[in-house]
Structure 1
Amino acid sequence: MSFDLVLRSRRVVTPAGERAAAICVRDGRIAAIHDYHAVDGQDLGAMALLPGLVDTHVHVNEPGRTEWEGFSSATQAALAGGVTTIVDMPLNSLPPTVSVEALRVKRRAAAGQCHVDVGFWGGAVPDNLADLADLHAAGVFGFKAFLIDSGVPEFPPLDPADLRKALAAVDTTFLIHAEEPAEITSAPSSARYADFLASRPATAEQRAVADVLDAARATGARVHILHLSAAETLPLIAQARRDGVRVTAETCPHYLTLTAEEIPDGATQFKCCPPIRGRHNRDALWAGLVSGAIDCVVSDHSPCTPQLKRPDVGDFAAAWGGIASLQLGLPVMWTEARRRGHDLAELVRWMAQRPAEIVGLTGSGRIEVGADAHLVAFDPDASFTVEPAQLRHRHPVTPYAGRTLTGVVRGTWLSGHPVTPEGPPRGRLLTRTDV
């Protein structure tokens, strides 16, 4: 049989683990998987072949705040980092994706710019609860809601009553930023990270997650806890699953690799919400990831202009809370995962397979017959030092500057086509009905 592409590697990472294999592609999909020596093709040797990563938590910000980030720059960064599918958050673009028309505006802005496949989340806010079903029918993959101030006025939070109304409105995945406002205090104007951290304690996440789980129990809804940073929430999630609640949870590379103890005064590039916590908490999050209490690892890529990080004063209270890491998530995670004794198959499950399953992208995130031929050649032993100027995010602001990381993306294929950030955009705009 003829194929459009054959890639051979001694380290093909499949859902069953690593194996030597030849991956055969036809019409953009994996048509066959043969033994390594069975067919001729491009030989990657000992370089690992991974499925393209799936990042379901990306703030692209276009249109409206394109000076923060945009579809071209964000998807080039994704491609450079081995991410072949992203799902865009409904904020901080203007308008936010809270109506069918706003979704059309966002899709028009993205058209022709995307270097990877892009899907879209909708937003659930107090004024659009009656419109969620129509927005879902228009193709969003689910809805994001805040229980606390989102940081932008056009995307207000839901109170407990509105949360339950939203969960009952449509049977889909609801992504929840779970922090309890009553547990959070105003951070003082300060360059000390400890002052900011104290303003957003772990109890804020505990209480909010408990409330979300109670609402899911009452409505039967499917909920997903976003950017989980407090390990104290893990027993609540585990018990809810035992009770039959449909709940999944994510965390992010920065919570699994960075610690509060190492953040210097004034280093606002480390600010995010919820905050990076202490070393023992980081270790407990790793235990939760390994046990399956945490399902997946995604970036929460939330960039802004450098000025909004307030490097002039180093004030954590005044700085925008968000970490831009879309391009670096794979090597950041691999560096720490390998140090802790984990393998590439686990990394792929956390960063490709499980995110794809949660969002319903059944053709992505795995190397198997019938899947999209989104593939990444990854050198797991090469190392590099993070130079911000070499990042493809719109702004070179990162807490990983100067760090030595292990793992380098050497090649990427999108639907079987070799692609580079410098090349023409080949990404598709995805809707829920496409998959």
Structure 2
Amino acid sequence: MTRMRAFVGQNVVLSDGLPRPATVITDVDTGKIVGIIEEITPRRSFHDIIEDSDYIDAGDKYILPGLVDAHVHLNEPGRTDWEGFWTGTRAAASGGVTALVDMPLNSIPPTTTVDNLAAKRDAARGQCWTDVAFWGGVIPGNQAHLKPLVDAGVKGFKCFLIESGVDEFPCVAESDLRGAMDELKDTPTVLCFHAELEQNPAPAPAAHPADPTLYSTFLASRPQQLEIDAIALITRLHAEYPALRLHIVHLSAADALPLVRAAKSAGLPLTVETCFHYLTLSAQHIPHGRPEFKCCPPVREDTNREALWAALLEGTIDCVVSDHSPCVASLKKIDEGDIMSAWGGISTLGLGLSLLWTEARKRGVGIDKIVDWLCVKTAKHAGLADRKGLLKVGYDADLVIWDPEGQIEVTKELLNFKNKLTPYEGLTLDGKVEKTFLRGRLIYNSAEGGFNGLEPAGNLL
């Protein structure tokens, strides 16, 4: 006999993004949503087809679709002391993420060949609390591997226009890009860019070097012009390959937005993401000697942050991701406070929904926009829009019970990722994930210690 589970609530966020009373019926065996009734259906109406324990009433809490985080560095195998599938996906589940897409670096080997993809999948099996998909990588000389990687199931590709920070994933030149775009132009994929480009040689060292513990020193080393120059190159090449979708990862420079608007107005299939840290942090408020705030490209000023919010609201920026990029504590140079030599990356998994909601409420932004940016658009970007990102019949039964009035205090004990270093420690954030369900199965329960008595249920997509 088919086992059914019903989720009911006063504020269920359906496909139009507006909360309303509804009942979502799921098939436990297939993990799919099989029915949606736009009213609260009492337990007695289901008679014998749903057990009491499978009738889940969220009351006036919100029921959201599971989040899709399309930009995560899980680092396993090879740098598993930085992060791993077990810890990274647990952290994601605690924040309502039910699917994430793993970046092709900083694992060893990088995901630049089919064999390397197989090594990563082997490492992931049995460890994932959420579903996990994979990006491939474009590096100099691996063009022949790109179509086989598409056939093997990667969701798209990432490349760097500036040094990545790890030797095994070098940046590409324009000639490399042309070779990759020739290979990919007739495939249903996307090419993603770390969009910083150094056009001019680095200046000679100053006689009196700037203080490496000041955030302003780091900010001056990664000016907006690097992103402007990169996006100018990307959009110029895009005009030559207009059938290939291109994507800008972690946009931080508001001064580059006119280039994005022009490309979109010209009809080019260009999409853009930004990150939680660019929408919630600002350079003026970063204390001295705090390398946990370092990321590339950098967090910029208040005025820049507000311009990013405006671009997000108008649709120039399509979606928001974490770019969770952790490392071990020694590489973060916490004791020295040396921002310039520290690893650049901000750890966010588990906090994104609350971070964005905290800022969104200040601006009068509703849950419909949040769901669009964190679920619908990210699923579409990652090639998962046929099964993820919406509460819809036929889709995976990925649901989050979320209290928009609840609060969380960011402490080390709250964090579920491996290396518990984050610039958000000490903050109190609005919105609390109470339960996360993956294909109808409970994978996180804040009231029961998070993961007590539960088992990983994630699939490799």
**TM-score normalised by length of structure 2:** 0.91
Residue 116, structure 1, aligned to residue 130, structure 2: yes
Please say which of residues 122-131 and 247-256 is displaced more in the overlay.
122-131
Q: CA deviation at 1:183?
A: 5.6
Separation of aligned partners in 2, 1:116 and 1:387:
23
1:280 matched residue in structure 2: 303
Q: CA deviation at 1:358?
A: 1.1
Please say which of residues 270-279 and 359-368 is displaced more in the overlay.
359-368
Residue 4, structure 1, aligned to residue 27, structure 2: no
Q: 1:183–1:201: 8 Å Cα contact kept in structure 2?
A: no
Residue 143, structure 1, aligned to residue 157, structure 2: yes
Separation of aligned partners in 2, 1:222 and 1:69:
30
Q: CA deviation at 1:188?
A: 5.3
1:93 matched residue in structure 2: 107
Q: 1:15–1:367: 8 Å Cα contact kept in structure 2?
A: yes
Residue 385, structure 1, aligned to residue 397, structure 2: no
Separation of aligned partners in 2, 1:21 and 1:60:
36
Separation of aligned partners in 2, 1:65 and 1:2:
43
User: How many residue pairs align between the two structures?
Assistant: 430
1:251-400 paired onto structure 2 within 5 Å: 251-362=274-385, 363-400=387-424
Q: CA deviation at 1:213?
A: 1.0
Secondary structure of the corresponding residue to residue 389 of structure 1: coil
- The amino acid across from 1:29 in the alignment is K
1:209 matched residue in structure 2: 231
1:433 matched residue in structure 2: none
Separation of aligned partners in 1, 2:460 and 2:202:
40
- The amino acid across from 2:407 in the alignment is S
- Gap runs ≥5 in structure 2: 44-54, 204-208, 445-450
- The amino acid across from 1:21 in the alignment is A
- The amino acid across from 1:25 in the alignment is T
- The amino acid across from 2:194 in the alignment is H
Change (3 A) 1:185 1:410: farther
Kindly provide the CA deviation profile for residues 341-374 of structure 1, in whole angstroms up to 9, marking residues without a partner as x.
0111110100011000111102101111111100
Kindly provide the CA deviation profile for residues 274-318 of structure 1, in whole angstroms up to 9, marking residues without a partner as x.
000000000000000000000000000000001111012111111
2:46 matched residue in structure 1: none
Q: 1:129–1:166: 8 Å Cα contact kept in structure 2?
A: yes
Q: 1:185–1:200: 8 Å Cα contact kept in structure 2?
A: no
Secondary structure of the corresponding residue to residue 181 of structure 1: coil
Q: CA deviation at 1:39?
A: 4.3
Change (3 A) 1:283 1:242: same
Secondary structure of the corresponding residue to residue 133 of structure 2: strand
Separation of aligned partners in 1, 2:357 and 2:11:
15
Secondary structure of the corresponding residue to residue 431 of structure 2: strand
1:25 matched residue in structure 2: 26
Residue 37, structure 1, aligned to residue 54, structure 2: no
2:176 to 140, 162, 172: 162
- The amino acid across from 2:349 in the alignment is L
2:198 to 181, 188, 192: 181
Q: CA deviation at 1:189?
A: 5.8
Secondary structure of the corresponding residue to residue 336 of structure 1: helix
**TM-score normalised by length of structure 1:** 0.96
Separation of aligned partners in 2, 1:95 and 1:265:
35
Q: 1:14–1:345: 8 Å Cα contact kept in structure 2?
A: no
Q: 2:251–2:272: 8 Å Cα contact kept in structure 1?
A: yes
- The amino acid across from 2:389 in the alignment is G
Secondary structure of the corresponding residue to residue 425 of structure 2: coil
Q: Over alpha carbons, which structure has the higher Rg?
A: 2
- The amino acid across from 2:421 in the alignment is V
Residue 428, structure 1, aligned to residue 455, structure 2: no
1:193 to 203, 215, 219: 215
Q: 1:210–1:236: 8 Å Cα contact kept in structure 2?
A: yes
Separation of aligned partners in 1, 2:399 and 2:202:
45
Q: 1:59–1:89: 8 Å Cα contact kept in structure 2?
A: yes
Residue 52, structure 1, aligned to residue 66, structure 2: yes
1:103 matched residue in structure 2: 117
1:83 matched residue in structure 2: 97
Secondary structure of the corresponding residue to residue 272 of structure 2: strand
Identity, % of aligned positions: 47
Change (3 A) 1:2 1:23: farther
- Gap runs ≥5 in structure 1: 431-435
- The amino acid across from 2:69 in the alignment is D
